[in-house]
């Protein structure tokens, strides 16, 4: 996923989704949409994907807890743009925008991300 207003000339071998102002990711295990892309308004807890800061200018959604989705086993594990000084994330992986763009150029649907 990416912010079209901030990212241009974006090439990828994987499907791209433009992040819109009403998009989010459900992190509420009470919802049937847990660990899935949602649209606001939404009655359960969800993280907004359209942010003022640049951390979600590009998001790679990792295939974590998705086949099948198990409640309370984790949601919204992304690779996204790092904050200044690489401040901690809330469970995601963050890299600088230039490196993330380079990663996206070479990965495809069969790419396996191993996190140790």
pTM of the model: 0.90
pLDDT of residue 113: 86
pLDDT of residue 110: 92
pLDDT of residue 65: 86
> Long-range contacts made by residues 14-17, C-beta under 8 angstroms, separation at least 24?
14/104, 14/107, 14/108, 14/109
Per-residue pLDDT at 86 exceeds 90: no
Q: Report d(CA 53, CA 48) in Å as an integer.
A: 12
Q: Report d(CA 108, CA 55) in Å as an integer.
A: 22
pLDDT tens readout for residues 89-113: 888 899 999 999 999 999 998 999 8
Domains of the chain by residue range: 23-106
Per-residue pLDDT at 116 exceeds 80: no
In order, the DSSP letters of 60-85 are: EEP--S-TT--TTS----EEEEPPGG
Q: Report d(CA 96, CA 112) in Å as an integer.
A: 20
pLDDT tens readout for residues 36-78: 999 999 999 999 999 999 999 999 999 888 889 999 888 888 9
What average pLDDT does the segment 13-37 reach? Answer: 96
Q: Are 56 and 79 in contact (CB under 8 A)?
A: no
């Amino acid at each position: 996923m990416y912010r079209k207003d901030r990212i241009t000339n974006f090439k990828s071998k994987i499907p791209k989704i433009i992040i819109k102002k009403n998009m989010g990711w459900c992190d509420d295990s009470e919802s049937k949409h847990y660990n899935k892309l949602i649209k606001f308004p939404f009655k359960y807890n969800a993280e907004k994907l359209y942010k003022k800061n640049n951390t979600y200018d590009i998001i790679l959604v990792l295939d974590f807890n998705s086949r099948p989705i198990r409640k309370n086993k984790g949601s919204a594990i992304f690779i996204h743009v790092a904050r200044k000084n690489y401040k901690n994330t809330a469970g995601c992986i963050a890299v600088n925008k230039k490196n993330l763009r380079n990663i996206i150029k070479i990965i495809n649907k069969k790419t396996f991300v191993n996190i140790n």
